Amino acid sequence: MAKAIPRIGSRRNGRMGSRKSARRIPKGVIHVQASFNNTIITITDVRGRVVSWSSAGTCGFKGTKRGTPFAAQTAAGNAIRTVVDQGMQRAEVMIKGPGLGRDAALRAIRRSGILLTFIRDVTPMPHNGCRPPKKRRI
Protein backbone atom coordinates (compact mmCIF):
# COMPACT_ATOMS: atom_id res chain seq x y z
CA MET A 1 0.00 0.00 0.00
CA ALA A 2 1.30 3.44 -0.93
CA LYS A 3 2.23 5.80 1.87
CA ALA A 4 0.12 8.97 2.17
CA ILE A 5 1.99 12.18 1.41
CA PRO A 6 1.52 14.68 4.27
CA ARG A 7 0.29 18.07 3.11
CA ILE A 8 1.86 21.21 4.52
CA GLY A 9 -0.82 23.52 5.91
CA SER A 10 -4.52 22.80 5.76
CA ARG A 11 -7.39 23.98 3.67
CA ARG A 12 -9.36 25.02 6.74
CA ASN A 13 -7.12 27.90 7.78
CA GLY A 14 -6.76 29.04 4.16
CA ARG A 15 -2.97 28.64 3.91
CA MET A 16 -1.73 26.25 1.27
CA GLY A 17 1.88 25.82 0.16
CA SER A 18 3.76 28.98 -0.75
CA ARG A 19 2.52 32.26 0.62
CA LYS A 20 5.36 34.43 -0.66
CA SER A 21 3.30 35.85 -3.54
CA ALA A 22 0.49 36.77 -1.15
CA ARG A 23 2.63 39.31 0.72
CA ARG A 24 1.92 42.86 -0.42
CA ILE A 25 4.76 45.29 0.22
CA PRO A 26 4.16 49.00 -0.37
CA LYS A 27 7.63 50.05 0.85
CA GLY A 28 11.01 48.35 0.61
CA VAL A 29 14.78 48.71 0.56
CA ILE A 30 16.86 48.12 -2.57
CA HIS A 31 20.46 47.09 -1.91
CA VAL A 32 22.94 47.43 -4.78
CA GLN A 33 26.34 45.75 -4.36
CA ALA A 34 28.57 46.78 -7.23
CA SER A 35 31.97 45.09 -7.28
CA PHE A 36 34.35 45.14 -10.22
CA ASN A 37 33.35 41.59 -11.22
CA ASN A 38 29.60 41.48 -10.56
CA THR A 39 26.58 43.54 -9.49
CA ILE A 40 24.06 42.09 -7.04
CA ILE A 41 20.64 43.69 -6.49
CA THR A 42 18.71 42.58 -3.39
CA ILE A 43 15.26 43.92 -2.58
CA THR A 44 14.00 43.56 0.99
CA ASP A 45 10.99 44.74 2.94
CA VAL A 46 11.53 47.34 5.67
CA ARG A 47 12.23 44.59 8.23
CA GLY A 48 15.10 43.23 6.11
CA ARG A 49 13.49 40.04 4.76
CA VAL A 50 14.53 39.38 1.16
CA VAL A 51 11.67 39.64 -1.32
CA SER A 52 13.57 39.48 -4.60
CA TRP A 53 17.17 39.41 -5.78
CA SER A 54 19.13 39.29 -8.98
CA SER A 55 22.71 39.55 -10.13
CA ALA A 56 24.51 40.02 -13.42
CA GLY A 57 25.58 36.36 -13.20
CA THR A 58 22.02 35.03 -12.86
CA CYS A 59 20.94 37.18 -15.81
CA GLY A 60 23.23 35.14 -18.07
CA PHE A 61 26.36 37.30 -18.22
CA LYS A 62 29.61 35.38 -18.00
CA GLY A 63 33.14 36.36 -17.03
CA THR A 64 34.22 39.98 -17.30
CA LYS A 65 30.89 40.98 -18.89
CA ARG A 66 29.26 40.71 -15.46
CA GLY A 67 31.03 43.87 -14.30
CA THR A 68 29.64 46.04 -17.10
CA PRO A 69 27.02 48.77 -16.62
CA PHE A 70 24.63 47.03 -19.02
CA ALA A 71 24.75 43.84 -16.95
CA ALA A 72 23.93 45.86 -13.81
CA GLN A 73 21.04 47.56 -15.59
CA THR A 74 19.61 44.19 -16.67
CA ALA A 75 19.99 42.73 -13.16
CA ALA A 76 18.23 45.73 -11.59
CA GLY A 77 15.38 45.49 -14.09
CA ASN A 78 14.90 41.78 -13.39
CA ALA A 79 14.85 42.21 -9.61
CA ILE A 80 12.47 45.17 -9.68
CA ARG A 81 9.97 43.63 -12.10
CA THR A 82 8.93 41.02 -9.53
CA VAL A 83 8.41 43.50 -6.67
CA VAL A 84 6.45 45.96 -8.80
CA ASP A 85 4.01 43.10 -9.45
CA GLN A 86 3.74 42.63 -5.67
CA GLY A 87 2.72 46.26 -5.28
CA MET A 88 5.86 48.12 -4.22
CA GLN A 89 5.54 51.88 -4.71
CA ARG A 90 8.25 53.45 -2.52
CA ALA A 91 11.81 52.33 -1.82
CA GLU A 92 15.05 53.38 -0.21
CA VAL A 93 18.28 52.64 -2.09
CA MET A 94 21.54 51.56 -0.44
CA ILE A 95 24.52 51.45 -2.80
CA LYS A 96 27.70 49.65 -1.81
CA GLY A 97 30.96 49.08 -3.64
CA PRO A 98 33.23 50.69 -6.24
CA GLY A 99 31.98 48.92 -9.38
CA LEU A 100 30.92 50.24 -12.78
CA GLY A 101 27.33 49.10 -12.27
CA ARG A 102 26.46 51.64 -9.55
CA ASP A 103 25.08 54.40 -11.78
CA ALA A 104 23.56 52.04 -14.33
CA ALA A 105 21.64 50.15 -11.63
CA LEU A 106 20.41 53.42 -10.12
CA ARG A 107 19.27 54.61 -13.55
CA ALA A 108 17.32 51.37 -14.06
CA ILE A 109 15.70 51.75 -10.62
CA ARG A 110 14.68 55.34 -11.43
CA ARG A 111 13.09 54.24 -14.72
CA SER A 112 11.07 51.44 -13.09
CA GLY A 113 8.47 53.85 -11.70
CA ILE A 114 9.24 53.19 -8.01
CA LEU A 115 9.36 56.41 -5.95
CA LEU A 116 12.74 56.68 -4.21
CA THR A 117 12.61 58.14 -0.70
CA PHE A 118 16.37 58.37 -0.38
CA ILE A 119 19.62 57.09 -1.86
CA ARG A 120 22.50 56.32 0.47
CA ASP A 121 26.07 55.22 -0.22
CA VAL A 122 26.99 52.56 2.34
CA THR A 123 30.42 51.62 0.95
CA PRO A 124 32.62 50.55 3.89
CA MET A 125 35.53 52.95 4.39
CA PRO A 126 38.48 52.03 6.59
CA HIS A 127 39.48 54.76 9.05
CA ASN A 128 43.10 53.81 8.52
CA GLY A 129 42.21 50.14 8.69
CA CYS A 130 44.20 47.20 9.97
CA ARG A 131 47.81 47.32 11.06
CA PRO A 132 50.10 46.25 8.20
CA PRO A 133 52.31 43.18 8.60
CA LYS A 134 55.81 43.84 9.91
CA LYS A 135 58.52 44.50 7.34
CA ARG A 136 60.53 41.57 6.09
CA ARG A 137 64.20 41.42 7.02
CA ILE A 138 66.56 39.79 4.59
What is the secondary structure of 33-64 as a DSSP string?
EE-SS-EEEEEEETTS-EEEEEETTTTT--GG
What is the distance between the alpha carbons of residues 93 and 119, in angstroms, rounded to a whole number?
5
Q: Which residues contact 45 (CB under 8 A, 6 or more apart)?
A: 23, 25, 27, 28, 29, 51
Fold entry, domain 27-121 = Nucleotidyltransferase; domain 5 (3.30.420)
Convert the pLDDT of each residue in 48-81 to its tens digit: 999 999 999 999 999 999 999 999 999 999 999 9
Residue 26 has what pLDDT?
87
Window from 3-17, 34-48, 106-120 with minimum mean pLDDT: 3-17
What is the distance between the alpha carbons of residues 121 and 54, in angstroms, rounded to a whole number?
19
Which amino acid type is present at position 72? A
